[in-house]
Amino acid sequence: MSTADSGPLGGVDRSLRNTFEWYTVSKKEFKDAIRSKGLWLLGLIFTVAFISPVALALYFDVGVSQGAQELGMQLLLSQIYTRMVTFLLPIVAIFVGFAAISKERTSGSLKLLLSLPHSRKDVIVGKVLGRCAVLGVPLAISLGLTAAFLALSRLTFKPGLFAVFSFFTLVFALVFVAITVSISGAFSKSLWSGAANFIVYFYFTFLWNAGANGVGKILTNELGVTGAIRWHVVLLLKLLNPNQAYQTLVNSILGEGENAARSARYGMFSQGEQASRTICSNVLNGSPQAQDGLFGTFVSCQAGGNPMPFVYSDPFVVVFMLAWIGIAATVSYYTFNLADL
Reduced DSSP (H G I as helix, E B as strand, rest coil) percent helix, strand, coil of the chain, to 5: 75, 5, 20
> CB 275: neighbour CB atoms within 10 A?
17
pLDDT reported for residue 133? 87
Kindly state whether residues 241 and 127 are assigned to the same domain.
Answer: no
Q: What pLDDT shows up at residue 17?
A: 63
d(CA 159, CA 174): 22
Does any domain span residue 12?
no
Q: Quick one: average pLDDT of 130-142?
A: 87
Average pLDDT value for residue range 81-99: 88
Q: Which of 255, 270, 263, 319 is nearest to 288 (CA)?
A: 263
pLDDT tens, position by position, 253-283? 998 888 999 999 999 998 788 899 999 999 9
Asked if 72 and 155 count as a contact pair (C-beta separation under 8 A), the reply is yes
Indicate whether 136 pLDDT > 80.
Answer: yes
Compute the distance between CA of residue 281 and CA of residue 80 in angstroms, rounded to an integer: 32
Q: Are residues 86 and 176 both part of a single domain? A: yes
DSSP, residue by residue, 54-94: HHHHHHS-TT-SHHHHTTHHHHIIIIIIHHHHHHHHHHHHH
- Do 118 and 162 belong together in one domain? yes
pLDDT at 77: 85
Residues 70 and 182 in one domain: yes
Task: Please indicate, yes or no, if residue 67 is contained in any of the structural domains.
Answer: yes
Q: Looking at the structure, do residues 162 and 184 belong to the same domain, yes or no?
A: yes
What domain count does the chain have?
A: 2
Q: Are residues 49 and 112 in the same domain?
A: yes
Q: Are residues 58 and 116 in the same domain?
A: yes
User: How far is the C-alpha of 121 from the C-alpha of 99, rounded, in Å?
Assistant: 17
pTM above 0.85, yes or no: yes
Residue 309 belongs to some domain of the structure: yes
Over range 202-218, report the average pLDDT. Answer: 93
Domain membership flag for residue 306: yes
CA 38 from centroid of its chain's CA atoms: 22
- Please give the pLDDT value at position 3: 47
C-alpha distances (whole Å) from 112 to each of 15, 105, 109, 119, 143 are 24, 10, 5, 12, 38
Q: Which of 46, 58, 55, 74 is nearest to 140 (CA)?
A: 46
Under 8 Å between Cβ of 266 and 280: yes
Same domain, 302 and 242: yes
Q: Which H or E element spans position 172?
A: helix 159-184
Q: What is the DSSP string of 204-251?
A: IIIIHHHHHHHHHHHHHHTT---HHHHHHHHHHHHHTSHHHHHHHHHH
CA distances from 293 to 1, 6, 287, 298, 300 (A): 71, 67, 18, 7, 10
Cβ(168)–Cβ(318) below 8 Å:
yes
Within-domain flag for 54: yes
Residue 45 shares a structural domain with residue 178: yes
Is 160 part of a structural domain of the chain?
Answer: yes
Q: Answer whether 237's CB lies under 8 Å from 313's CB.
A: no
Question: How confident is the model over 309-319, as pLDDT tens digits?
Answer: 999 999 999 99
As a whole number, the mean pLDDT across the chain is: 83
Q: Are residues 274 and 188 in the same domain?
A: no
Question: Are 124 and 332 spatial neighbours (Cβ–Cβ below 8 Å)?
Answer: yes
Q: Distance between CA atoms of 44 and 21, rounded to whole angstroms? A: 33
Do residues 99 and 186 share a domain?
yes
| pLDDT tens digits, one per residue of 2-36 | 444 555 666 666 776 656 666 787 887 777 777 77
- The per-residue pLDDT for 262 is 95
Determine, yes or no, domain membership for 15. Answer: no
Q: 79: number of CA atoms within 13 Å, CB side?
A: 9
In a domain, 182, yes or no: yes
C-beta separation of 238 from 268 below 8 A = yes
% of the chain beyond a pLDDT of 90: 36
CB 127 within 8 A of CB 104: no
pLDDT at 70: 55
Whether 94 and 157 share a structural domain: yes
**Structural domain of residue 257, as residue ranges?**
208-317
In this prediction, residue 166 carries a pLDDT of 94
- The set of residues, in sequence order, having a beta carbon less than 8 Å from that of 294 and lying 6+ positions away, is none
* CB count in 10 Å sphere of residue 108: 9
